[in-house]
Amino acid sequence: MAEFESNMEFNGKSKPSTMASSLFNRSLTIHSTKSSPKDYVQSPSRFYNSIESMKGKVKKLCNIFESSRTPKSILNESLLAQAKKLKSVKSMGPEYNRYNYGFNNSGIRLPGTEDRIVVYLTSLRGIRRTYEDCYAVRMIFRGFRVCVDERDISMDSAYKKELQSVLGEKNASLPQVFIRGNHVGGAEVIKLMFETGELAKVLDGFPRREPGFVCDRCGDVRFVPCGNCSGSRKVFDEDEGVLKRCLECNENGLIRCIDCCL
């Protein structure tokens, strides 16, 4: 055996251990040329740094939105101003006049309406916010079951001109409420008065209708077709033999309902 090993060394051939080590080294050189799995897997430190940078960006965005969110942007300044003007009857003292309201010092009055409630509104849904405000005010007064002189400017343009002349504004917002001839305001004022209970005190003394009252003649539309021209706005003049404009109805061929309108 010793002679065989010596012969192997003499012939220039390596021992088995030497051959195994050379093969192992060769395999290492082959695999070292390929990409390491670490190149495809993110290191823990790098992953942690990316999370920290993302947290920083989120924190900056939160600071921006929190700084821009001020109480003034959340609360409506007009509502606060109206709330300050609304005072209880007890705080006004015995000299308080219920029908002067104390919160509206505009001095605007609607002549000939000292015994009623007048609401200028529209029944058209062209502008959603305006229609919703008109509907809300209408429902508030109907909840008290009081008689209201509803003047729909979409049904009769003469009411629009009348409101513009009273307020002195070309583009008056709707709705507008007058109580006993005094100008009260729009939807926001009526809503505040209703929530604080002031509206119930102001409406004290007005006649009340039966619950669920609906006009049989107009169906609470407040207008009916003209009986003179049947809503056509034209009448035949027998003396002259021509058609003439009906003078009893408005531009839509309608007249006010005589059963439910004051």
Helices (DSSP H) in the chain: which residue ranges?
A: 2-10, 16-32, 44-68, 71-74, 77-85, 89-92, 128-144, 157-167, 187-196, 198-202
The CA distances from residue 76 to 70, 71, 79, 82, 83, in Å, are: 12, 9, 5, 10, 11
Q: 140 versus 104: which is more confidently predicted?
A: 140
Average pLDDT, the chain: 76
Find out whether 178 and 110 touch, Cβ atoms under 8 Å.
Answer: yes
- The mean pLDDT value for 113-126 works out to 94
pLDDT tens-digit readout, 142-185: 999 999 999 999 999 999 999 999 999 888 899 999 999 999 99
Give the confidence band of 13 by pLDDT, cuts at 50, 70, 90: very low
d(CA 131, CA 124): 7
User: What is the mean predicted confidence (pLDDT) over 54-67?
Assistant: 63
Q: CA angle, corner 50, sides to 44 and 54, nearest 5?
A: 145
Per-residue model confidence (pLDDT) at position 102: 42
Q: Which residue has the tokens 């109206």?
A: 82
Spatial separation of the C-alpha atoms in residues 30 and 168, rounded to whole Å: 95
Residue (of 129, 149, 128, 127) closest to 138 by Cα position? 149
Average pLDDT over residues 114-138: 95
Ordered DSSP codes for 79-102: HHHHHHH---HHHH-TT--TTT-S
What is the average per-residue pLDDT within 184-204? 95
Give the model's pLDDT for residue 75. Answer: 45
Nearest C-alpha neighbor of 211 from the set 256, 151, 150, 145: 145
Average pLDDT over residues 105-115: 86
